[in-house]
Amino acid sequence: MNSTVKNKKLSDWITEVAGMCQPDSIYVCDGSREEYDGMVEKLVLSGSAIPLKKRPRSYLFLSDPSDVARVEDRTFISTSSQAEAGPTNNWLDPAALKETMKSLYRGCMKGRTMYVIPFSMGPIGSPISKIGVEITDSPYVVVNMHIMTRVSSSVLEILGTDGDFIPCLHSIGAPLEKGQKDVQWPCAPMESKYISHFPEENLIWSYGSGYGGNALLGKKCLALRIASAMARREGWLAEHMLILRLTDPDGKQYHIAAAFPSACGKTNLAMMQPSLKGWKCECIGDDIAWMKIASDGRLHAINPESGFFGVAPGTSYDTNPMAMDTIRENAIFTNCALTDDGDVWWEGMTGDLPSHLIDWKGRDWTPESKADAAHPNARFTAAASQCPVICKDWENPDGVPIDIFIFGGRRGSVVPLVYEAFSWEHGVFLGATAASETTSANIGAIGNLRRDPFAMKPFCGYNMGDYFQHWLDMGERLGSKAPRIFYVNWFRKNQDGKFLWPGFSDNSRVLKWMCERVDNKTGARKSPIGLLPLEGALDLSCLSMGSEDMRELMSVDTAEWKAEIPDIEAHFAMFGKRLPQRLRKQLKDFSERLG
């Protein structure tokens, strides 16, 4: 086993985990195509993976009904003091948490293989990248990590004998006794699930869940929760943001990073096909951005992932044709419905409902069925390199220079389509007070409004008051080279409950206005909340949209915004003395502008 592992820290850790978890065998992954194919074959033979006749080299997995989303109430940030974790995180004492989890880990891999996955977040060898090693007993995790990260034996070569890495320990928590038959989706009961982060040690321990972000530890756990704490210490940003390149008809490039909560259209925007003639959009990343100040003084971003783990329901050739083309082959689907001819289906995928499906719980489904055929948080996993509009610079180790930051959320009322921050400091205030109606991507009541600062509430690995300060500090370092900051809401509705803005490819019209603001080609009118487009400044050519709808979409009702103040005050009060004074002043100024 250890023949390929020369790194002493890694070798010792493998030995320690094996002694605790007691697997039947140990396998060190090399990231090869042969390895992936062999792992998939094993999953097909066990009944866990369903081959899809209609999609080459593609497979469907159906999870246990208790294991379908990130479990925020079982996700912990474990720091030496609770104050360091802050009020937005679940905190447990590190020593006590480790004891609890060690008792769960003892013997948890009996009857299973322990897989050691060396991976790079970001291009292998890039100065912005980080190396992680995930130990898991789930072959489903292995195949997904192959797609979502850069799994390779060359990662071990870069580690050498004494290189550092982020240890990520995962178990589904379902040991097998001799002769015991495995289930289709093994996992532990909800109360035994732990997704634990120790940011002071750059350490991740996960137990009991086989789903997505709970188990693919390079994703939210490493690339956001641990990386955000590292970024604060080292002076960079690890953010829950898409990255896209927008090119105007004259060939000028703009790079945009946007933060929206899960299931609010990040992947759609990242792969948008502009409705405006002559404009081109290319995808660099759809979920996470790592950004460092480069020698030119500007903020340069990379996508640390190598794949997409996208929400399937609502994705269609109408909403996101590039995503649909990305998943035509070589894809993994989780909790989608199965068609009779061997394809996947989900709500919103086609206009016509299939006459019969096998739903995500393995039951017969017809249009008369009351339950959804696919789980609302059903997912697809596919390599970024398969995306038809992937940017040629998406793996540039130096990253791309960011011109624009966008914050936003899903709001049916109050918030207009777009507005610009008065300044960096005001932009940080907009990010810090961002709010969205909850979706099925996180477990909880759907439709409730929750403050989700920077779309990072579930992902910030330390006290968010300090996180706000870090953003303010980064702005000071960037000075005049700081990106411009905007806020958007694609989801505003009219009195009849219908969306006012067409969205999708027409969002390019809003991005065009932002680019014109960056180039000082268009003015803006001041409002209490920020800078709004002048009348006629948004390019609505060939768009059948009434002037009354447009006025409603851009309206700012001061009474509605005043009603938001108590909620913002309560949100800020959570952070106590850790809330930067400059944000208190921003709130005071905001209240005064509202009158």
512 in the Ramachandran plot: left (φ > 0), alpha (ψ -120 to 50) or beta?
alpha
CA distance 105 to 124: 31
Q: Is the dihedral of CA 361, 367, 369, 374 positive or negative?
A: positive
CA distance 568 to 562: 10
588 burial via Cβ count (<10 Å: 0-12, 13-18, 19+): exposed
Which one is catalytic: 21, 29, 108, 264? 264
CA distance 498 to 494: 6
Residues contacting 446, CB < 8 A, separation 6+: 437, 438, 439, 440
Question: Within 10 A of 180 (CB to CB), how many other CB atoms are there?
Answer: 11
Beta strand extents in 481-522 (DSSP E only): 484-488
Backbone phi, psi, residue 549, to 5°: -60, -40
CA distance 331 to 310: 11
- Residue-by-residue DSSP string for 470-485: HHHHHHHHHGGGSPEE
**Angle (deg, nearest 10), helices 464-478 and 424-432:** 160
Residues contacting 518, CB < 8 A, separation 6+: 254, 403, 404, 484
Beta strand extents in 164-252 (DSSP E only): 166-171, 194-198, 203-207, 237-239, 242-247
Q: For residue 311, what are the CA distances in angstroms to 268, 343, 446?
A: 10, 17, 16
CA distance 399 to 319: 28
| Pairing of the two strands 531-533 and 524-526 | antiparallel
214 in the Ramachandran plot: left (φ > 0), alpha (ψ -120 to 50) or beta?
alpha
Q: Is 187 a catalytic residue?
A: no
Burial 263-272 (b: 16+ CB within 10 A, else e): bbbbbbbbbb
CA distance 492 to 553: 7
CB 534 within 8 A of CB 48: no
The residues carrying an active-site annotation are 264
